[in-house]
Amino acid sequence: MRGSPWRASRERARDRQVKREAVIRAAAHAFNRKGYHNTSLDDIAAALKVSKPTVYYYVSNKEQLLFECFVAGIEPIRTAFRKARRLKASARERLQAVLGHYGQAVASEFGWCMVRAEDQDLSPAMSTHIKSLKSEIDQGIRRLLREGVQDGSIHPCDPKMTAFALAGALNWIAHWYRENQSMTGAQIAAAFITVFENGLIPRESAETGRRPEGRLAGRVAR
């Protein structure tokens, strides 16, 4: 049998990957509850019922642990952008879709790490890496806003400030949302989007605060 050893090796590799991800998740969970600095690697190891060197067997150091959590949190948002780009709809609807996934990501178990990974806690290399990922998201939102203003689906606005406001509101979810909450991440995101789309000033066409139903709301002026 020549295939057998290879298969076994693949299985081991996959096994290792699974365990590694368990370490990442345990770290995210601990960071969520106690914060990065208040979490020791012993804590994480204890949560997994292993010893500290075992944790180091799967990741190289604490910083990388935070980084992995960050990436795990932000990746869904990036894919949301890719999917939205292929969508055939107004820019506001594409933005809607992206923000929905954004909100869910922030409310996920990795939300804390994604939102709170501070430059100050990271090596310069990691810091620039994370900043570039964050900037990619920011630029993506600004771009959708510009496109929306252009195609008339979004009220004229300053894209930079508006993007900051949107991202800020959604990011902040990570500060107050806890798993056992009555609302899911998707529900919160939906509620926020409603708030952002309607605005505080009453609309003449306002029917009890709900957006004029989901998809093609509003005048796609042109």
Partner DNA sequence: CATGCATCATACTCACCGGTAGCTATCCTA
Partner DNA sequence: TAGGATAGCTACCGGTGAGTATGATGCATG
Contacts to DNA by CB under 7 A: 4-6, 8-9, 12, 15-16, 19, 38-42, 45, 49-54, 56-57, 61-63
| Residue 12 touches which member of DNA, its own copies, none, C-beta under 5-8 Å by kind | DNA
Residues near its own copies (CB under 8 A), total: 57
At residue 207, the 3 state secondary structure works out as: strand
Q: Is residue 200 a contact residue for its own copies (CB under 8 A)? A: yes
How far is the CA of 39 from the CAs of 26, 30, 220, 222, in angstroms?
11, 6, 50, 54
| Closest to DNA by CB, 51 or 150 | 51
Residue 221 contacts which entry, its own copies, DNA, none (Cβ below 5-8 A, type-dependent): its own copies
Ramachandran angles phi, psi of 164, nearest 5°: -60, -45
Say whether residue 218 binds its own copies (CB under 8 A).
yes
Q: Which of 7, 10, 16, 155 binds its own copies (CB under 8 A)?
A: 155
Question: What's the min distance (Å) between Cβ of 91 and its own copies?
Answer: 10
Q: Is 156 in the site for its own copies (CB under 8 A)?
A: yes
Give the end-to-end CA distance of the chain in Å, rounded to a whole number.
68
Enumerate residues 6+ apart whose C-beta is below 8 A from 199. Answer: 155
Say if CB 209 and CB 216 are below 8 A apart: no
Contact 90, 220 (CB under 8 A): yes
d(CA 18, CA 11): 10
Stretch that binds its own copies, among 3-11, 20-28, 48-56, 193-201 (CB under 8 A): 193-201
27 binds its own copies (CB under 8 A): no
Q: Does 196 participate in binding its own copies (rule CB under 8 A)?
A: yes
The reply on whether position 201 binds its own copies by CB under 8 A is yes
Unique residue bearing structure tokens 């693949």: 10
User: For residues 153 and 72, what is the distance between their CA atoms, to the nearest angstrom?
Assistant: 32
* Binds its own copies by CB under 8 A, chosen from 52, 126, 157, 184: 157
Shortest distance (Å) from residue 87 CB to its own copies:
17
Q: Residue 54 touches which of its own copies, DNA, none (CB < 5 to 8 A by kind)? A: DNA
Does 206 contact its own copies by CB under 8 A? yes
DSSP alpha helices (H): ranges in 35-61? Answer: 41-47, 52-58
> Based on CB atoms, which residue is closest to its own copies, 15 or 214?
214
Q: What is the largest CA-CA distance in the chain?
A: 76
Q: What are phi and psi of 207, to 5 degrees?
A: -110, 95
Per CB under 8 A, does 136 bind its own copies?
A: no
The amino acid occupying position 148 is G
